[in-house]
A and B are shown apart, each in its own frame.
Chain A
Amino acid sequence: GENVEQHPSTLSVQEGDSAVIKCTYSDSASNYFPWYKQELGKRPQLIIDIRSNVGEKKDQRIAVTLNKTAKHFSLHITETQPEDSAVYFCAASMGSGGYNKLIFGAGTRLAVHP
């Protein structure tokens, strides 16, 4: 079935450390993998995304890697700051063709301690 597993569910790091969140998807036809950050009481906001024809993408302190063979993708945040504290969701598009059906992981609550 359509499923995205996300680990860990909670992550606590010290300011300046790195944080890694991992996701596994089930649909081999998935070709778009966004990551969203949701702060308390706010809407989810896209922080980075990757398509299936790319293995890695970086944007300042944030990077995402994709292993299509293993159907894994991961979010890496370096030099974490207290403002990185939020819930992070991975998602995978179900099917191809540009249809906007995203299946989300259960979320990771990241806490960055000063």
Chain B
Amino acid sequence: KAGVTQTPRYLIKTRGQQVTLSCSPISGHRSVSWYQQTPGQGLQFLFEYFSETQRNKGNFPGRFSGRQFSNSRSEMNVSTLELGDSALYLCASSFQTGVNTEAFFGQGTRLTVV
């Protein structure tokens, strides 16, 4: 079974630009969560999507948004990029049964804002 796939692996963007990151979950998984990982703040929850609906949201500004498609693939978008948005963005997929189950992480997209 293929794992969680994130594309692209690396991105360099300029302040003020916008970026879209993609996550393909494990086949059969319907829940996709996104996390931001930085050396100073650790792993911080951005949002979770299930069946194309956002179910949870972390404490990030509205510049961070996401969506999920009918095939469970998810994208997150960051608009008006700031230097502080430089981070490793990880997505995790879970097979949702109504109780918490293991979250499998992708390799991440490393975003550098210059």
- Could you list which residues of chain A lie within 8 angstroms of chain B, going by C-beta atoms? 31-32, 34, 36, 42-46, 49, 51, 89, 91, 93-94, 97-107
Contact = CB atoms under 8 A, between A and B. Distances in A.
Interface of B: 31, 33, 35, 42-45, 48, 50, 55-56, 58, 90, 92, 94, 96-108
A98 B42 contact: no
Contacts of A94: 56
Given A34-B102, A44-B105, A49-B102, A102 B45 contact: yes
Contacts of A43: 90, 105-108
A34 B25 CA distance: 19
Given A43-B90, A43-B108, A44-B43, A102 B103 contact: yes
A72 B96 CA distance: 26
A97 B42 contact: no
Contact of B48 (A34, A45, A99, A103): A99
30 contacts: A32-B100, A36-B105, A43-B105, A43-B107, A43-B108, A44-B43, A44-B90, A46-B104, A51-B99, A51-B100, A89-B42, A89-B43, A93-B100, A98-B98, A98-B100, A98-B101, A99-B100, A100-B31, A100-B48, A100-B94, A100-B103, A101-B48, A101-B58, A102-B33, A102-B45, A103-B45, A104-B35, A104-B44, A107-B42, A107-B43
